Amino acid sequence: MCMPHLPRDFPHNAIHFVFGDFNLPMDRALDAEIFHTNHISGRVECVEWLSHLAVLDSWRLHHPAERVFTGPTNTNRLDYIFANADLVRSCYQDSGYKRLPNSHAGDHAIHWLTLADHGVPRAKGRWQLPRELLSIPQVKEAILEEAQQLLYQLETAHNPGVLWHGWQKRTRRFLQHAKYLQMQRSAVSTAQATEEQSQIEQPLLEFEEQFQEIIDVQAQYRKDRVFDFHATSNENSTKHFFRPPKKVLHHVPIAQVKLPDGTGFVKGRRIHDHAIFLQDLQHYCSRENIEGYAAFLDFSKAYDMVQLDYMLDVLGTMGIGPKFRAWPPPLCTSLFFANDSTLLAKSLGDLSAQLQLVQHYYQASGACLNINKSQVLTLNNSQNVPHHEELPMVATGTPVRYLGILLGHNLRQVDTLSDKFYSAFLTWSCRARTVRGRKLLVQTVILPILWHFTAAVVVAPKRLQRWQTLVNAFIQRRHTDPTTRSISLIQAAHQYDKKLGWRMPHIASIICKQRIACLQLLVQEKTATDHQWNYLARVAFRQ
């Protein structure tokens, strides 16, 4: 924070509220689980400015020893509401934090503060005569008659003061009772008028509701007719829809994109190989009970901060010719730039040494590491998650996304995938009303959710059977609940037959084919560089 840019000129009687994401913990001991050096920048100036405005943290004032973390990584408290000190002391009612599941507040927790006027209890005031009572003839006549009798009694009484005080008390009780009766009559008359008005308006409201219901039914019927027409005529997959890309796209004007060590864009290698390799490494470390870590680094505003000359030199080293590099910079550099990287280390000491090399890379390229989005995964599932001074560690059971695959320490991956797979049926169930349309949705939209995960994640046969049952029930009967049992409309032998049956996709067969193809690529060794990629897979296959 820069102090000259913070406003200070306010009216002398202004009431200040300062709230939002301060991007730094105010209390190092209570508001941060892991202390970082960037927590110091601007903290003193910010505290000085808040003191000048005479505001305080109301939540911390009433929770002096409680620790709540609201940041994206759930390791520090960055969101505050600073309110006027006098207002908090006199009107504070409640405050707290809450993290919503759908996150309307983004990746931060919601902070709220409730102020209320508690009020001061007051004593019962003196009763005063309502002037509207004097407009009632019976009340007026009663007061005059009582006054005439009182005057006669006062002339002959030995204690006129006591007589006068008693008359005042009797008259006050009489007038209070008269006021009560007047209010009762007014309430009864208002209720009768309201009831008569409702009896008149009730039939009209019923007719309006019936008329609106008929209009809604007719409108829905017209929409259903139009939808059924388009569903019957358009829900048909053609060869044009599944046509391969044009051959002209295969002519890439780059002869070779490969680094000197053989890595890069290698023919026959897929993006799943990286996820499979990391999972094999995690399985190997857990089985052999050895230490291992994977650090997922994220660069802060990578494209804006990295120097252009550095990126062009890297492109030239990768084998990209001068014609391509002569393109305008936004075109040629945005095609070959990544904003994250992964480091593998045997120990936390080796990881710290690698981070020092990353610092040298920052100095040469101009990049900057985003500490809040970088994480370290413990590969050994039998090992407790340790503490790292520079990067946050992934907690046990917390998923971290790596190339679209969820990884974690003792993480149940298949359960998370099943929840996403089941929710897709609820999302797309209203889009197709014919068997052909539902089968097309399953093949092109729903099942592709599985293929990316199953290429790297092993799924038990019982789970595959539950998935297949839901797919069959959705195509045949439009069922979306995985717990609902349904009777198949066709024999099991004809459900998956491509000539005589319904040609429904068989999940177990597709995944088996996918795994066999992956195994063939991993066990074969075409070049010397393939050894470092498929070594763990070959060891597991031999065992």
Do both 65 and 154 map to the same domain?
A: no
Do both 427 and 366 map to the same domain?
A: no
Do both 428 and 517 map to the same domain?
A: yes
Do both 389 and 424 map to the same domain?
A: no
**Within-domain flag for 243:** no
Closest by CA position to 70, among listed 84, 55, 62, 59: 59
**Within-domain flag for 199:** no
* Distance of alpha carbon 532 from alpha carbon 281, whole angstroms: 12
Residues of the chain with pLDDT under 70: 1-5, 35-39, 101-106, 118-127, 198, 201, 227-269, 301-306, 325, 327-339, 493, 525-534, 537, 540-543
* Distance of alpha carbon 535 from alpha carbon 442, whole angstroms: 36
Tokens 């002391």 correspond to: 89
3-state DSSP helix/strand/coil percent for the chain, to nearest 5? 55, 10, 35
> CB of 28 within 8 A of CB of 67?
no
- In angstroms, how far apart are the furthest CA atoms of the chain? 133
Contacts 24+ apart (CB under 8 A), 247-253: 253/323, 253/324
Do both 425 and 344 map to the same domain?
A: no
Do both 225 and 300 map to the same domain?
A: no
Q: Final residue of a domain: which of 408, 437, 453?
A: 408
Task: Return the axis-axis angle of helices 507-523 and 461-477, rounded to nearest 10°.
Answer: 140
**Within-domain flag for 255:** no
Do both 295 and 388 map to the same domain?
A: yes
Structural domain total, the chain: 4
* pLDDT at res. 255: 46
* Distance of alpha carbon 478 from alpha carbon 435, whole angstroms: 9
| pLDDT tens sequence across 481-536 | 888 777 777 777 677 777 777 788 888 888 888 888 877 777 775 555 555 666 77
Distances (CA, A) of 482 to 314, 475, 479: 51, 13, 8
* pLDDT at res. 1: 43
Q: Final residue of a domain: which of 115, 150, 165?
A: 115
Do both 425 and 517 map to the same domain?
A: yes
> CB of 370 within 8 A of CB of 300?
yes
**Within-domain flag for 123:** no
**Within-domain flag for 246:** no
Do both 107 and 26 map to the same domain?
A: yes
**Within-domain flag for 258:** no
Q: Final residue of a domain: which of 357, 373, 408?
A: 408
Distances (CA, A) of 299 to 6, 62, 135, 461, 497: 29, 38, 84, 40, 50
Quote the tokens at residue 408: 């974690």
* pLDDT at res. 543: 65
* Distance of alpha carbon 58 from alpha carbon 67, whole angstroms: 14
Domain of residue 38, residue span? 17-115
* pLDDT at res. 104: 52
Do both 403 and 448 map to the same domain?
A: no
**Within-domain flag for 270:** no
* Distance of alpha carbon 415 from alpha carbon 356, whole angstroms: 38
DSSP 396: B
> CB of 286 within 8 A of CB of 379?
yes
Do both 433 and 403 map to the same domain?
A: no
| pLDDT tens sequence across 176-210 | 887 777 788 888 888 777 777 767 767 777 778 88
Do both 209 and 306 map to the same domain?
A: no
* Distance of alpha carbon 534 from alpha carbon 512, whole angstroms: 19
* pLDDT at res. 233: 58
**What are the φ/ψ torsions at residue 451 (nearest 5 degrees)?**
-60, -35
* pLDDT at res. 338: 60
> CB of 26 within 8 A of CB of 43?
yes
CATH number at 61 reads 3.60.10.10
* Distance of alpha carbon 481 from alpha carbon 462, whole angstroms: 17
* Distance of alpha carbon 352 from alpha carbon 388, whole angstroms: 9
> CB of 79 within 8 A of CB of 108?
yes
CATH number at 314 reads 3.30.70
Closest by CA position to 52, among listed 89, 84, 90, 87: 84
**What's the CA angle centered on 396, arms 392 and 398, to 5 degrees?**
75
**Within-domain flag for 4:** no
